Structures are given as C-alpha cells and as structure tokens.
Structure 1
C-alpha cells in the first residue's frame, strides 16, 4: 500500500474515502505532523496503490495490518473519512490491539443504499480515447449532472498517459466491489477503546437512526457535529475539523 510519512512522534494513520487518495487529508496531516508521525495512505484501487479484483473491509483492514508491520509499528491512531472510516472501524474491530484510538469522519458502521450511480455513469462514459484536455473531462462530468465540486474532486484521479488520459484508480474494480464498499459485513465485535465520530451537520451519512449501531460496536464513543458542513466536512471547515481531531488524539496518547 502506497503511503507518505511526515513528522515524528506517535504514529497517526490517515485514510481517505471512495475515489480519493492520500492528498485528501493532507491539510490535517500538516497540522498533526508538528507532534506526530503522520502516515497518509492510498487505499488499494486508489492513487498509486495496487489494483485489486476483490476488496472488502476485512481485506482492507488486513492491508493496514501489513502496513503497520512494514513500518515496524505495534499500534497507531487511525483517522478515516467515509470509506476510510469504515476501513479504520474494521481494523479496530478485528485488531483492536493495533488501534490506539479511532477517529471516524462522517460515516457509520452500517450498510448504505447505493448512492454513486450518477458518478459511476459519468466516469464510465468518459470518452478516454478522444479526450484532449482536463477541461473537456470536466465538461463531460458536468453534463453528466455531477456538481462542480464533486467533478473537480473526481478529476484528481485523471492522469496523462502515452495515448491521452487514464484513471489512476481502478474504476472497474470499484464498480465490481461497490456492494462491499457500501455494505458492512463485519463480525459482531466490540472496540472498547476511545473513539470519536465527527459528522457534517448537513450530511445524510450519519443520522440519529445510526446511534444504536455505533454504540453497539463502539461503546466508548464521543461525537461531534460540525454545523454548516456536508460529507466533505474536513475540506469545508478544516480549521475546526483539524482542531477537533488533534485535541482527541492529544487526549488519548498511549
């Protein structure tokens, strides 16, 4: 799994969400690296990491175990946004001894209904062979009824190739494994160490109806809502988000 490490101190591993890469939480990393070793990762099928035909949360958690072993670390703090939050939760449930503390940003330990069909349609219909510029790619996504902010985020996955452009991410693999990504096929386990759930006040990913599911598997949870933010809370109000995460990790150093 491709990663970038900065800073020194207790390790903190940052995990991005679907269609993302290790730059998504770079702003948070720049804040934490003053006091911690911060490791930002590209999950499999994203960024510069290996493309997998099959991915689910247990296999992604195992990849985090492999990363800790590669870095010669026995445990770390984990911060995950969206799908990355599910990866971090899966690791905490399956290998709690390796997770010093857990921060989950705008996702719950539940199965979701499909909500990315429009994005997948826009990405798969991109005329890669005829594509001449990033602006043309942006226009295609806008015409596919994808909002500007999401389109710009998705195009961070677009890179120049010998014959035009290609996706960094494994788009076919993400489509094939999408049921696992939105699902939550995990054993009935409990993570009894400190964890912090942060949600966007305008997001529909963490709702009151998810409270019981969170409390069942993460009983030592504290929670915070950042008003005026949606699912991309870390990008919409980074100063507040970074402060909340930093304060939580400071409080729970091993």
Structure 2
C-alpha cells in the first residue's frame, strides 16, 4: 500500500476560479450568433424575406353626422309618413282664450287732456337739484376776468414798444457759418506709418495652442481584422465543450484491500 497519491496527467485538484459551462443547463452566453428571425438584429449572412405590417389605427378625419342604426323609429312612422291613426294623450284641458276687452265710456278722462288739446302757460316747480348737477362743469361768474393792459398782449388797448435783453442769435448774425467749415481742432495728426515704413509691432498676449483635432482615436492595437466577418465568408465553427465535468466521478488509482 502506497502512502503517496499517484496523479494521472498534469491536472491537479484546485478551487474553481469561476463558474464553468457544466454548471448551466443551457448554452448561455457561449453562442453569440445573430438571429435569423425578425427584422431587427438579423444575421447579415442570411437571406431576409420582406416583412409586412398591419399599419396603425389612424384618427377619424371627419365626424359622422348620422345617428346610425341605434336610433328608435316610432311605430306609427312608415316609409310614406304617418299611418294616420288617431293619437290620444292625458294632458289637462286647456283654458279658453281671452277675447279683447274694449274699454267702456267711463274709462276715458277728457279733462286730463287739456295740455294736449288747448294752449297753456308755462308752469314751473321748486323741485330739488338733480344728481347730474354735481357733474356740471359750467364756470361761474367769478371764473371770468378782464385782460391785462400791461405788455404787448393787450387786446383793446394800444401798447408802447417793448425791448428785451435776450442773447445774440446765431441765425442771421455776422458769425453765422453758412458753409459749415471745420476749424483747426477738427483735424488730427496722421499716423506716420501711413506714408512711411511701418516698424514691426509686438504684444504681450498669452501663449496660444496650435489648432488640432482633440478627438480620441483608436490605436493600431484596438483593431481586430481577424474578427471581421462582414466582408468575407466565415466557415462554421464548432466546439467540443469542456474537457471535464464536475458530475463525473474522480479516477481512483489506489484501491485498498
């Protein structure tokens, strides 16, 4: 009986570093082939048949004005009109209409029509002031006054000549400039760089960076041309799964008697 264990191959028992495919009952993420059904994410290597839809339910463009078959037709209405049978109701008896009542001779008062038929003198009353009197804006006698007799604005009186000490007017005077000639202070000194050699000029501005493209672009190691399958055909690939399973019994070499 040997005390040391005998191992077959290079595999040694160890703690699993992660889940293996044998722990799942379905393939799971082992396959990454695009589907061949539907319209979205279809396999570009497979032929795709045309897809049709039932469309959408559009809104009603115009409202219907007919009541439809849901309205109730009275039983006495035919295609030629009413059938002519008498109809009765349980309404109350209507009242008799009142005839026009002509007034008699005693209803007239001829004595009250004197102002309408005969000449009468004006009559005045001492009634109170009306409410509209407060809103009356008519000026009273104290609001008027005679015009002044001082100054040149006299209406019905003769006035003596008036003189004033006003300022000198520029219009029509001797110093009025009709030509609008500019004075000596209007002109400015011409820069010497206009008609002579202009020396270089420098400024103390901040340092500017050279314009360039600041977008991030992938390097040569980010591309995988061997994984491109859209430009060429790719043969089918198959796998044999994992080499071992956790459901298989371990190999027992040393058997004790």
Category of TM-score, reference length = shorter chain: under 0.3
TM-score by length of 1: 0.13
Greater radius of gyration (CA): 2
Higher strand share: 1
TM-score by length of 2: 0.13
Higher relative contact order (CA 8 A, sep 6+): 2
